[in-house]
Amino acid sequence: GKSLTDQDNAMDRLNDIKVKDVQGLPVVVQGTTTVNDAVVTMFLEDVGTLAVVDESGYLEGIVSRKDLLKVTLGNASASSMLISLVMTRQPNIITILEEETVVEAARKMVHYQFDSLPVVQATDDPNKKQVMGRITKTTMTKLLLEAATKS
C-alpha cells in the first residue's frame, strides 16, 4: 500500500492544477434557440448544461436538463419557446476563471449544488464575461481517479 505521504502528495497536486488545464470546450447556444433545438444540442454534444451567449460570446445564461424538463411538462407548445425565457440568467450564474484552481471549482460546485460551471474570462465590464470552457463534476471525478492511481 501507499504511505500517507504519497497520498498527501497526490492530493496536494490538485491545488496546483488550474481550471484551464482540464476544462472542456464550451457548448454554447444563443438565446433565440428554441427549446427543441436546445434538447437536440444536449443529445448531440452529450452534455447536461448549455451556456447561452450573445453574438460576441458573452455569457447571458445557463440552461440545464431540469430547466427544459420543467418547461416541457404539460406545455404542448414548449418546444418552440425560446430558451432565453427558460434559462437561468446573469448576474445569477456562478462562474469560474481559467486561472483558478480545480479545487476552487469543486468547492463552488459542491457549495452551490450545480453539475457544471462555465469557465470565463473577465473583461473591464463586470457584466461581460467571455465564455472559454466548461468544468463539470465528471472532470472532478476523473481528477480524483488520477490522483488515487498515480504512483
Nearer of residues 87 and 143 to ligand ADP, judged by Cβ:
87
Shortest Å, Cβ 3 to ligand ADP: 38
Shortest Å, Cβ 121 to ligand ADP: 16
Nearer of residues 62 and 143 to ligand ADP, judged by Cβ:
62
Shortest Å, Cβ 65 to ligand ADP: 4
Nearer of residues 13 and 142 to ligand ADP, judged by Cβ:
142
Strand 59-64 versus strand 88-89 pairing type: antiparallel
Would you state the cell numbers that stand for residue 30, as one nine-digit string?
444563443
Alpha helix (H) residue ranges in 90-135: 102-112
Q: Which chain residues interact with ligand ADP by CB under 6 A?
A: 48-49, 62, 64-67, 88, 92-94, 114-117
Long-range contacts of 104-108 (CB under 8 A, 24+ apart): 104/19, 105/19, 105/135, 105/139, 105/140, 106/140
Nearer of residues 24 and 48 to ligand ADP, judged by Cβ:
48
Distance CA 131, CA 144 (A): 25
Shortest Å, Cβ 120 to ligand ADP: 10
Shortest Å, Cβ 26 to ligand ADP: 12
Q: Which helix (DSSP H) or strand (DSSP E) does residue 147 occupy?
A: helix 137-149
Nearer of residues 31 and 48 to ligand ADP, judged by Cβ:
48
Which CA distances in Å does 140 have to 37, 42, 91, 102, 132? 28, 20, 25, 8, 18
